[in-house]
Every structure is written in structure tokens, then in C-alpha cells.
Amino acid sequence: MAEELVIRVTAMPTDLNPYGGVFGGWLMSQLALGAGSLASRRGQGKAVVVHATDFTFPGAMQVGDELSVYAEIVGQGRTSFTVQARGQGRERNGEATVDVARGTFKFVLLGEDDRPRAIDLAE
């Protein structure tokens, strides 16, 4: 499958760390939100994160920069998806972009009883 744009958001002053850059925890949460959106859409239901790993922060963002989150399903189990997510920052007043975050997430699909359910292979 190909990488898909799942979120686009602007970094605001509340998203900064004490040094004036965008806080890595905010970037991680945006990656998780985007990856979860893709897992829920593909699984056609509730998908909860059970594992997050391999975070890297190769670039930096400033307040006002735009973050685009791209996600791709890279693995599938009986009840789970593994999703790689990538955050790309674009400077506020231009077109220059830089990768600012990457991470891998595992989501388990839940049924109406909030118990793991099998992925429908007919999808």
C-alpha cells in the first residue's frame, strides 16, 4: 500500500517546548492520531494503539509551520495493523519541507464488546 496524507495541522505556541521548538511529544501524538485514523478506516471500526516504537526526529519545526502526517499500513495480523507514520513540516511562509518525525504503531481492532476482533479479509 502507498503512504496516505491523514492529517494536516499548524503548530501553535502551546505546542512548543521550553527551548522554542515544537515539542516532540506533540509530534508523536499527531503521528498516533494519523496512524489511528488510517487503522480505523481500513478496519472499519474501533482501533486502539497497543504499541508504539522506532520514533525518530530528523528535523525541526517552528511555531506556525504546517505539519502533514502521512501513514501506511506495513503489516497485518489476525486482529491488528502495523502502521508507519511520517511527519513532514512545511515552513509557514514558503514551500520548503523537511521530515520532522517518524514512528511505528500497532493497532488492535475492537468489536462492539471492546474485545479484539478479526480483520475482515474481504476488505
The tens digit of pLDDT for each residue in 57-79 reads 999 999 999 999 999 999 999 99
Mean pLDDT of the chain, nearest integer = 95
Angle (nearest 5°) at CA 30 between 28 and 36: 100
More confident residue, 118 or 1: 118
Query: Does residue 123 carry a pLDDT above 60?
Result: no
Note the pLDDT of residue 121: 66
The amino acid present at 55, given as its one-letter code, is F
Angle (nearest 5°) at CA 96 between 12 and 83: 70
Inter-CA distances, 69 with 24, 33, 56, Å = 14, 9, 14
* pTM of the shown model: 0.93
